[in-house]
Chain A
Amino acid sequence: MFSFLVLGALSSIIVLALTLFYKMYRLKELNTKVAALKFSLEEMDEQAKLIMRTDIELNKTQEELDKKISGLDSLQKLSHEINTTLEEKQIFNKIDNRYLEQLGFEKAMAFLWKSFERELRLYLNIGYNQDESEKIKAEINLKKDYFLDLIENGLVASSVSSPEGFLAKDKINSLFQVNSFIICPVLTQEGDKGFIVVGTQNTETPLTKGDQELISILCNQIAQTLDNARLFEKTWKSQQELEMKVEERTRQLTSALDKVQKMSKRKSDFISSVSHELRTPLTSIKGYAAILLAGSLGNLPDEIKTKLEKINRHSDELVHMINDLLDIARIESGKVDMKLENLDLKAITEKIFDLLTPQATTKNISFNSNIPDNCQSVQADRSQIERVFINLVGNALKFTPQNGKIDINARCSNKIIQIDVKDNGFGIPEEAQDHLFEEFYRVDNKINQEVKGTGLGLALIKHIIEAHGGRIWVKSKLGEGSTFSFTLKTA
């Protein structure tokens, strides 16, 4: 029995020992697993730290990139807006809180230095009420030397870095009621310089050099636009002044022209009435002279006859002159209607040559005409155009020496015929050419001293040509001859 009990106890001890051993083994195994788990957990925690560190760097980069993109985008839009105006005040008005926020700020002010008034004047105010802005403006002007130094030296002050000797950052923060700021000069080439201050109360987004660069670009842009605006204003003012001067001058000229036209009309009226008044007694003089010459009142001594013939001839010249004057006056006043018809230019020149051949023969002057087939037909008043030809060819005969030649050439283009009456005569001095078509103007030369003339012929034909819608001019060289050219419309 005892041995049975001992055996039982022994086997129990063995079982307990085995169980204990097993438990110890399991405990050791679990401890190893716990240690491994702890190790894994620590490892995972370390990995988590790495993830966090990487993530924060990524976030920082992303944030900076976002800020830059957003800043550049708004800067580009703002630049475009600013460039659309050329008015100084409007330039600052274009900067609104929308753009400012995109640049990362919610407060902004711009001041320009008015040297005459010796004050920094406020041009832009975003984020401050009237009282606040007045207070800041007063404070800025009290400390103006600091800001003028910045402008003078083209320096930027900001929460990132401030130039030596400038106001302390906390003072600026308190002055502008912000937590971060950038003060950037607006350096114009012309006129008032100034500065822009932008700020934010945001304490979570620190300012970077990138922000400073963006605001500097904006300030440069504003300075350039201000310069453009000022240049534009200057140019505009000069243009306005010029326009005013031109207007004034035009007014004076118009008034002068009006006077001249009135005087010219008065002159024409005077010539017309005087000519009419002269023609009546002249007709009587000529009539009585004719009666006396005809011997109706008895025979007259030869000497008297000669005198009467002179009276008659001079009266004819006077009548001729009066008729020319009357014609000029009539044409000038538009009282003469040009009876336009299709005329054959060749036929007219031939008729003129026939008419003037006796005089040409005397001086052995040859006539030539070169009128192409397609330039033959003109639209003109027959009698008036014949007067033009007679006058021009007659003058050419007068001033062309023996054995000379007179050519009539024509050419046409764009329904306009140009007719040139060319001689190889003495020519006209250059200084006389400008006055040639003026009434009573006669070139001072030997022939004119010998040959009588009224000085009305060229003036009259100028009026006739202009009444036809054409123009007349002369080209001449002393000793080489002259070419009188005029234009008419083709039929």
Chain B
Amino acid sequence: MNVSFGFSQIQEHVQAANEAVGQAIIGLRGAPANLALLFTSAEFAHPMVLKTANNLLGEIPVLGCNSSGIITNKGILKYGIAVLLLSLGRQTFFNTACVKNINGENSFLSGKDLGSKLLYGFKEVRRSITIILSDKLITDGTNLISGLQEDLGKSFPLIGASGSDNFANQRAFQYFNNELVSDACCGIIFGGKFSFGFGTKHGWKPLGRIRTASKSSSNIIKEIDGEPAIKLYEDYFAKDMLELAKELRRISIFYPIGIYLPGEKEYLLRNVISIHDDGSLVTQGDVPQDSKIRLMISTEESRIAAAIAACEEAKRNLGNQKIKFVLVFNSAARFFLLGRQHEKEISVIKEAFGENTPLIGIYTNGEQAPLTSISYLGQTYFHNQSINILAIGDQ
């Protein structure tokens, strides 16, 4: 496998796409490119960028999305375009697909549709991993994953992310070949000779009494321990509902809800995105009824330690394979929390994999990744505030 990168921060769209893709093509030194990952800041979510990239790359599949920040070896690009080109060996196989117009009603079916599209022509191939990129405004992300897992299998490694937009709460775009789409989920499945190691962590620890989501449905927690869900935050932060309505979204970035998952080592985090008038909490990702939940707390040290642990886990899972490149899906909330220290997290990743190991990634608004399971390979969940490291091996 050959890998190359290209970056650009030129203001003009076409020139920027030309520069980034051109650099990546040159970087492959004549090896044929089979697949391109394209990440851009919101300003470059433009059809001309895709058209230019496709013109330069020919017929190869292009997948990507926009994000509030692009993670690279050279630091974080808050503005610009990054391209990863892969030239895969003959024994490595992949397939790409995209489902559009996903909404709360059809997310399960859309997931299932994506799964079957990805598996089309892949029946005889040993499957390795699926990577998906989806719109962050798809509220029922859990059902989308469940749909995908219908065909792919519950313990089949599936990781993914939704692009972020600097907390603007606006639509993020996905790139599929020369299409700029939203309300969509695009994916890629790898198989054959393809090795990877994966690690996901968040660094939040539970604090306070265990509570039960006594009444919840999908991503709305109506009651906790028989009382309106908002009371949890009212009690802990000594603020009334009106005050919380203004700042709960922000507070929950610091103190998300943690769902205890029997058999899993880590709590699953959920950000609160809004409050209903009856005191129900709307979370990013579902909270099953009767889940044991707690408020979670973290420090800068615990979050950095989690990033290191995720890297170590990915390295351990990859075994002795030489690492070709590292793909990072890192929650935008972590970037926000680290503030001026945001380079710290990238530094520890670079330290873990070596300064010269190619690195590319995005800041995300919701991640999909398997939790490290005690008893089996690990089921994929929809996460908030996690750092996900995918180390791709040489073979």
Contact = CB atoms under 8 A, between A and B. Distances in A.
Contacts of B249: 203-204
Contacts of A59: 254
A55 B298 CA distance: 10
B78 A52 contact: no
B61 to A, nearest CB: 28
B309 to A, nearest CB: 22
A41 B207 CA distance: 12
A201 B165 contact: yes
A394 interface: no
A202 B168 contact: yes
Contacts of A206: 247, 250
Given A49-B208, A69-B340, A201-B168, A97 B78 contact: yes
B66 to A, nearest CB: 13
B166 A52 contact: no
A248 interface: no
Interface in A171-224: 179, 200-206
B358 to A, nearest CB: 24
A237 B339 CA distance: 47
Given A48-B207, A48-B236, A56 B251 contact: yes
Contacts of B137: none
A204 B253 contact: yes
A44 B209 CA distance: 8
Q: Which of A55, A70, A98 has the most CB atoms of chain B within a 10 A radius of its CB?
A: A55
A360 B165 CA distance: 110
B167 interface: yes
A66 B340 contact: yes
Nearest to A63: B339
B336 interface: yes
Contacts of B250: 204-206
A52 B339 contact: no
A23 interface: no
A43 B376 CA distance: 37
Contact of A48 (B170, B208, B238, B247): B208
Interface in B204-248: 207-209, 235-238, 247
Contacts of B168: 179, 201-203
A63 B341 CA distance: 11
Contacts of B5: none
Contacts of A66: 339-340
A385 B297 CA distance: 106
A42 B166 CA distance: 39
A414 B298 CA distance: 85
A53 B237 contact: yes
Contact of A204 (B255, B295, B336): B336
A55 B207 CA distance: 12
B169 interface: yes
A54 to B, nearest CB: 11
Contacts of A53: 236-238
Contacts of A200: 166
B172 to A, nearest CB: 12
Contact of A49 (B43, B235, B339): B235
B295 A203 contact: no
A101 B295 CA distance: 31
A470 interface: no
A401 B253 CA distance: 113
Given A52-B255, A56-B237, A203-B167, A45 B78 contact: no
A51 interface: yes
A423 interface: no
A203 B274 CA distance: 12
B166 A202 contact: yes
Contact of A203 (B43, B169, B254, B340): B169
B254 A45 contact: no
A99 B43 CA distance: 17
Contact of A127 (B43, B209, B235, B297): B43
B79 interface: yes
A52 B43 contact: no
A201 B237 contact: no
A349 B387 CA distance: 106
Contacts of B253: 204
A106 interface: yes
Interface in A47-78: 48-49, 51-53, 55-56, 59, 62-63, 66-67, 69-70
Interface in B296-334: 297
A206 B249 CA distance: 12
B339 A70 contact: yes
Nearest to B78: A101
Given A45-B208, A48-B208, A48-B236, A55 B254 contact: yes
Contact of A41 (B79, B209, B235, B247): B209
Contacts of B236: 48-49, 52-53
A45 B208 CA distance: 5
Nearest to A102: B340
Nearest to B255: A52
A97 B207 contact: no
A200 B209 CA distance: 38
B67 to A, nearest CB: 13
Interface in B170-185: 170
Interface in A89-132: 97-98, 101, 106, 127, 129
13 contacts: A45-B208, A52-B295, A53-B237, A56-B251, A98-B78, A179-B168, A200-B166, A201-B169, A201-B170, A202-B167, A202-B168, A203-B168, A204-B167
Given A41-B209, A48-B295, 10 more contacts: A48-B207, A52-B255, A55-B255, A59-B254, A62-B339, A66-B339, A201-B166, A203-B168, A205-B250, A206-B247
Interface of B: 43, 78-79, 165-170, 207-209, 235-238, 247, 249-251, 253-255, 295, 297, 336, 339-340
